Structure 1
């Protein structure tokens, strides 16, 4: 639909509008007709997506409202920013408080030695900080001298987690089809691939390519220090599904073919022991 006639309302004076009144009325009628035809086609889809009458009433109310552009609008923006800053400060204070509480127990080794999972971890620490985690891609910041140790830790932790889950499902050997990190990128900038030069119209100098270490070379050119076996003791845990297999084969099969977590939990629940106090 041609909307050039609409501009006449802002360009012509009163006499000009009166002179083209019939043509403008035809334009307004045509626009109403087109709007009505579009509305008849879209409105049924809207009712299918938002069947509640409140949704339609809210849109109708918003369409009839005039957006404030006076000082009240500025006050509204200021109030929204103040509320956002207040909530952000509350979140920041809460995180700082939790961090301070954790630091208070930093030297209390009994805190994690009493936990069967935490006491199997290496608490020597590395200068590493997580910066990003999206789906199958995570990024850590580490010192130059710790980059190979960090890469090895990521690979081991990745396989270890999957191996523990498989073992608890009654699979003692990690299946080769189980996905894991194919490689670890050792880079000094944040980019998608280590071989991207990142040349742009505003940055003509290419970034030096980095390295991608797979399992065979993740230890680095000089290798890694041997692990202290006393600090990395392994404690065997009975797989969750062993109790199902020993008690009755039927619940074990039902657990294997469960379609969701709710059904699985209902099968496993009678065979779980009472939680330790």
Structure 2
């Protein structure tokens, strides 16, 4: 078998130490096995997209090295193509990698990248932009926004403080959700359109979600006292939140998330990034990405 040629796309400004610690031994092992590896450092998400597409056009296996933001960006650039995508989990959450059971151990990861067969998985199109894991619009997106705006805190600390600020200031949002043409109205904390079952640094928000069923699991978290909301957040780690009456899961191929409050602005998140503000339409793209995964 001809050794694969890889291009690793890395963001040097986000979690660079973790990315380097993961990539250096991986690169050594790939090269020792006879594979060719090109390492490209991106200057931002647009540049990472261009690097990924250029590598795919050259016939390389494209590696996304980093957390969910980088993985979503690089993988999103390959959606709808015949390119092969490999994930090198090197972030805080690694939620899409967790859903696909991508190994974190270097030896197992090298074996997968060298000899694994690509499998087709679903992606999401959110207002025309490819997304891998989930689209969410509520207090979680506001927490993400607060963390991004933090001047003094970085990493998980910024997200933790941002989340506390978001919940403390939150007033219930009035949502109109349209799933495959059927309207649902509710008042609450958030809506998550999930392709992957995990989001928000390992929270198992949609335990029954599958990346190859052609459907989105749409999780609604309705209004409740704040102490119940924090309990629900703790229960997310094991998926026990689904037993709560405040939590409902819908399934469909397309969902539109809108606010029914004139003048209120609310961001939506996607794979750890904040692409825009509501409304957002998310639809599943069945089997749109070829990934090296168990």
- TM-score of Structure 1 vs Structure 2, range by shorter chain: under 0.3
TM-score by length of 1: 0.20
**Greater relative contact order (Cα 8 A, min sep 6): structure 1 or 2?**
2
Higher-strand-fraction structure: 2
Q: Could you say which structure has the larger radius of gyration?
A: 1
Normalization by structure 2: what TM-score? 0.20
